[in-house]
Amino acid sequence: MTMRKGLWLAVTLVVSGCAGLPTGPASPVTGIDGVACVTGTAAIDPSLKTSENDVLLGKARGVSGKGGTCDGQVYAVSAPVKLYRVYDSAKGYTQRGSWWALEKPSGTRDSYRATYAICPEWSAVDALVECEIRPGTQVVIGSTQSAVCGDGTELPKTAALQVYVANDGRSDLYHVGACKELGSWP
């Protein structure tokens, strides 16, 4: 009987001690419009350290149907990190644009468009470049926001991580370097 009371007391203390903890599944991550994002897990390069920059985060995150990232985290770059960009070869000035991927792309053009919600009118996605983010740069990494294209095609949100780099070709301001043109893609 004494053992039972001791066990009951221990169980009661453990349960009482957890009263402030959530008991159900974690609440979903939502975008700036309050609509749930599709999230996943991915290893982030150790050269990327979490940081704060609300202005940069605001440039990367978009509302449902408009592209960009759904959620996002700002990171400061402490050492060069490789990024990949599929761009429109007819618009060479877009080679060092703002939207990048952490992984070298594979698959078909259509699958890449679907993964990163890239409408045909935004880019031909037919050329590939590899660059490094320069140390000292801040970037945003987040899951892909949905896009509605000009022809009405809807590209859904995905867990694929996009990297927003605030490159500005009009001002000749680039946060990427050591670029290698990898040719036509796919």
pTM of the predicted model as reported, rounded to 2 decimal places? 0.84
Grouping H, G, I as helix, E, B as strand and the rest as coil, residue 32 is coil
- Closest by CA to 69, choosing from 166, 159, 183, is 159
Question: What is the predicted pLDDT for the residue at 45?
Answer: 93
Q: Lowest mean pLDDT of 5-19, 140-154, 162-176, name the range.
A: 5-19
DSSP H or E run through 101: strand 99-101
Spatial distance between the Cα atoms of 51 and 70, rounded to a whole number of angstroms: 18
Question: What is the predicted pLDDT for the residue at 27?
Answer: 57
What is the average per-residue pLDDT within 118-146? 97
Per residue in 23-49, pLDDT (tens digit) is 334 557 999 999 999 987 788 899 999
Spatial distance between the Cα atoms of 60 and 145, rounded to a whole number of angstroms: 10
DSSP H or E run through 5: helix 2-17
Per residue in 69-100, pLDDT (tens digit) is 999 999 999 999 999 999 999 998 899 999 99
Question: What is the predicted pLDDT for the residue at 164?
Answer: 98
Measured in residues, the chain has a length of: 186
Q: Is the pLDDT of residue 120 over 80?
A: yes
